[in-house]
Structure 1
Amino acid sequence: MKAFDLTQLRFDDSGLIPAIVQDAENGQVLMLAYMNQQSLQMTLETGLTHFYSRSRQRIWQKGEESGHIQRVYEIYFDCDEDALLIKVEQVVAACHTGRRSCFFRRLHPSPEASAELTQQQFDPEAVYGGSLAILQQIFDVIKDRQARPQPDSYVSGLFSKGQDQILKKVGEEATELVVASKNGNPEEIIYEAADLWFHALVLLGHHGIAPSEVARELRKRYGKKSKAEYR
């Protein structure tokens, strides 16, 4: 099947097109955001929604800070080719308030314009403690140092020395974590685990693999009864 030419879509004068995001499982409308051609292409390539922020004037990945990513199932465009419908698997909540959907306030019919629909609210910090988002943030910096090497950057230095040096560091950090575990000092274990995770992110960057791909693989395994080691 011939790939669809994204330039056939009718982006507005600012190069944007509205995108309605819908829960693929139950049809709930989750949010409305805007895409430009680049963010749409990134969405197609990664399988995760990327949008263009009109206020921040930059592309952003949904869940890049909260960890509440959206895995894309299907993308449709309307008859006028000037709007998108994206069906996703939503992780936790789509709204920045912590609610499942951004559409939780009722305008009509209601005696009060501010009347809210009953909807469970999630606290991202309570759910994740911010821990998942930092991995992606660090990975973004790693990829930037790979694309734009800096003379004083440790990461740029690793990439310049090639895969063997990266593998050596991963091996060294794994050994140091084993030693820390044998020593039984929690602070030392946390420190060495952070070192290992960091260098594993560098290794992923070398291969062009995003942390979300590893998370997706873990999620697939967790859902299989045969993978008892994940339970």
Structure 2
Amino acid sequence: MTGVPDFGSNELVPTVVQDVSTGQVLMVAYMNEVAFRTSSETGYAHFWSRSRQKLWKKGATSGNVMRIVNISLDCDDDAILLTVKPAGPACHTGTVSCFGQERTSGDEHADRVPAQGFYSLESLWATIAERANHLPEGSYTADLIAGGVEATARKVLEEAAEVAFAAKNHAFGSDSDGRVASEAADVIYHLLVLLAERRVNPRLVIEELAARAPRADS
């Protein structure tokens, strides 16, 4: 968290709440100085109810609390972005997000692919990049990067082979979904470490994938 909102100019500051795993906007509420301080101290989202004129902890009754991962302020210190790990639906109607009622001018029945949580890779990349920049002692990531491209490339090859074997075993029923996911996670992690060691921004990978999208199913 950086800084404190300008409560002197705005007694109530609008607060956007975002799921750390999916990047989905869950709700918008308001914080006053008490709600901000309580949220910061407890690590759980608290807001100020404009209708009841009282402090309330999100999920205090329903159990759908929101554990805070990060608190960010906008450039004017008059809006808050709360990144959280929600314990359940954000909306009182039972939907994941208060913005769940989509209104589009297109096909009302178009297929929608659910979010896969790739947003959380941003946090992983930030950690790996920090390790690459400072090479702290005792860090596995830093040690791997210090070993140069020979070390990072070797790990990518090893992990790629392991996920391939896990996938084949999965096909015969001897490995679980979780095992395949675990091995795939190792590949993604070590691939990001390789990119960090080579100083290649993963955004270039995303841009390349986006460029291929129109012809992906051709």
- For Structure 1 versus Structure 2, the TM-score category normalised by the shorter chain is 0.3 to 0.5
TM-score with structure 2 setting the length: 0.46
TM-score with structure 1 setting the length: 0.44
